[in-house]
Chains A and B, each alone.
Chain A
Amino acid sequence: QSVLTQPPSVSGAPGQRVTISCTGSSSNIGAGYDVHWYQQLPGTAPKLLISGSTNRPSGVPDRFSGSKSGTSASLAITGLQAEDEADYHCQSFDSSLNYVFGTGTKVTVL
């Protein structure tokens, strides 16, 4: 049902850098729509982590960064910390202005 594809899981040791990809198509990300990223800690609601593909809302640590190119986007976490263990979801729009979500990625800190 999800339109955007993410890896099911990524893992890294504390202090390492991990990246999560979000692959769409010419009818969503490739059409120029921004990508937003959400962090969902266990048992909680999602929280906006990156907006407008690259922007961090106030209060989000600068170890989180986003990028976008063509039909894909990426979220990078540098200096991975234990509290970063969570599910991460990307979101964009399609040409009918429906929200489209990614399949979700579980980040595990080893």
Chain B
Amino acid sequence: QVLLQESGPGLVKPSETLSLTCTVSGGSVSSYYWTWIRQSPGKGLEYLGYMYYRGSANDNPSLKSRVTISVDTSKNQFSLKMSSVTAADTAVYYCASSRRGLFAGMDVWGQGTTVTVSS
């Protein structure tokens, strides 16, 4: 059973870079598609980006290239970096996986981690 666990600072200052890690257990990060999604308080889900371990990647154009997703096969983790954060980036951040391919649904989710952007 594949399990995902997000980790990272819960508080980030405005203009700094948000960094989160998703640790994969019960499976290998050298498979599947790995995605980051967030949910602002009281709002819907927002796609941030995804990556396949062999290098193909995509990120939400509305975030104006602030997002970088990477995979670390040695640690069985994948990561999210978001630069120049503002209060609008305060949200619960989820990592998720599509084990049956990019166009299948995201069938494994982490529990989510809350990130607050504030000075």
Query: Interface code A36-58, partner B: CB below 8 Å = 1, 0 otherwise?
Result: 10100000111110111000010
User: Chain B 88-113, CB within 8 Å of chain A: the 1/0 string?
Assistant: 00000010000010111111011110
Chain B stretch 12-66: residues in CB contact (< 8 A) with chain A? 35, 37, 43-47, 50, 58, 60-62
Contacts A47-B109, A93-B103; is A2 near B44 (CB within 8 Å)? yes
- A51 B107 Cβ-Cβ under 8 A: yes
Q: How large is the interface on A (under 10, 10 to 19, 20 to 34, 35 or more residues)?
A: 20 to 34
A103 closest partner in B (C-beta) = B44
Least Cβ distance of B7 to chain A in Å?
Answer: 15
Q: Which residues of A contact B46 (CB under 8 A)?
A: 1-2, 101
Q: Cβ of A46: which chain B residues have Cβ within 8 Å of it?
A: 45, 94, 106, 109
